[in-house]
Amino acid sequence: MVRVPATERKRFYQNVSISQGEGGFEINLDHRKLRTPQGKLFTVPSEALAIAVATEWDSQQDTIKMYTMHLTTLCNTSLDNPTQRDKDQLIRAAVKFLDTDTVCYRVEEPETLVELQRNEWDPVISWAEKRYGVEIGSSTSITGPSIPARTREVLVSHLASYNMWALQGIEFVVTQLKSLVLTLGLMDLRLTVEQAVLLSRLEEEYQIQKWGNIEWAHDYELQELRARTAAGTLFVHLCSESTAVKHKLLQG
C-alpha cells in the first residue's frame, strides 16, 4: 500500500467541468461541486478563471497534488480569507515590501555585481517612478532607501483600484518576488514572468555563475518560483475588470 502524503490524495473523479451559478462560475468534479477547505461552494468571478482552475484539476494524474495547484489555492484564500484580512490590510502588506524591496537594496562590491544590479534594476525603478510619478531610489545601506510618504500614498491609492481577489494575487506575487516594484512591472505587462523572476534572483544567479550550483536544486527552485509567479500574475489579470488586458493575455 502506497501512503499518499498529506499534500497529495488519490484522484477520485473522472471528468471536470464548469457551470454558471448564482454567485459566479462553479467547478464540477464528475457530479460533485468543488468546495473550499472551509466547506464553502467554490465559486469564481470569471469564466476564464474557472476554465484555468478546471484545467489544474483536469491535469492531475493518479494523485491530486495540491501544492502544484496555485490558482485553486489562491481562489480558496480569496473565498475563505483564512487570515481575516480586509482590503486595506492586504494593500498595506504589499506596500510594506517597499521597505525591503529586492531591487532597492544594492551591494557595494564586487564591482561586477554592482554594475549588474545597476544595469538590470535601475531601468525597472526608473520605469516605476515615471509610471506612477513617484520617487523610489536605491541604497547600499542595510536599512534600505528612504521611501517618501507620498510614494506610499500613491501606490496605496493605485492598489486600491484592484478588487479583493486581485489583491490576494498581488500580495502573493509580491511575496514570491520579495519586490513590489517587480510585481507592478508584471501587472502592467512591462515585464514577463521570466524577466521578473530572474531580476528577483539577480544576486543568486550571479553567485551561481561565479561558483557553480547544485543543478537539480537550482532548476527546481527556479521552475517553482516561475510557476507560482505565473499563476499569481494570471490570477490577478483574470480577476481584474480590464477586459483589454484579459484579451491580450488569453490571446498571447
pLDDT of residue 1: 35
Q: How many of the other CB atoms lie within 10 Å of CB of 76? A: 20
pLDDT value for 213: 67
Where are the chain's structural domains?
Answer: 16-80, 87-250
Which pLDDT score is estimated for 212?
73
Name every residue whose Cβ is closer than 8 Å to that of residue 118 and which is 6 or more positions away in sequence.
106
Identify the pLDDT of residue 251: 43
- Residue 172's Cβ-side half-sphere holds a number of Cα atoms within 13 Å equal to 26
Give the Cα separation of 3 and 22 in Å (integer). 39
For residue 241, the model assigns a pLDDT of 61
Question: At how many degrees (to 10) do helices 164-177 and 193-200 cross?
Answer: 50
Cα distance between residue 246 and residue 243, in whole Å: 5
- What's the confidence (pLDDT) of residue 2? 35
User: Which helix (H) or strand (E) covers residue 248, if one does?
Assistant: helix 243-251
Extended strands (E) in 182-246: none
Sequential pLDDT tens for the chain (252 residues)? 333 345 688 999 999 999 999 889 999 999 999 999 999 999 999 999 999 999 999 999 999 999 999 999 999 999 999 999 999 999 999 999 999 999 999 999 999 999 999 999 999 999 999 999 999 999 998 887 899 999 999 999 999 999 999 999 999 999 999 999 999 999 999 999 999 999 999 998 898 888 776 666 778 889 999 999 999 999 999 998 644 344 444 444
Q: Which residues contact 83 (CB under 8 A, 6 or more apart)?
A: none
* pLDDT given for residue 6 in this prediction: 55
User: What's the pLDDT score for residue 209?
Assistant: 83
Q: pLDDT at position 244, please? A: 39
DSSP string covering 173-194: HHHHHT-HHHHHHHHTTSS-HH
pLDDT at site 3? 37
CATH superfamily, region 16-80: ATP12-like (3.30.2180.10)
The rounded distance, in Å, linking the Cα atoms of 76 and 71 is 9
pLDDT of residue 214: 66
Query: The domain 87-250 belongs to what CATH superfamily?
Result: ATP12 ATPase (1.10.3580.10)
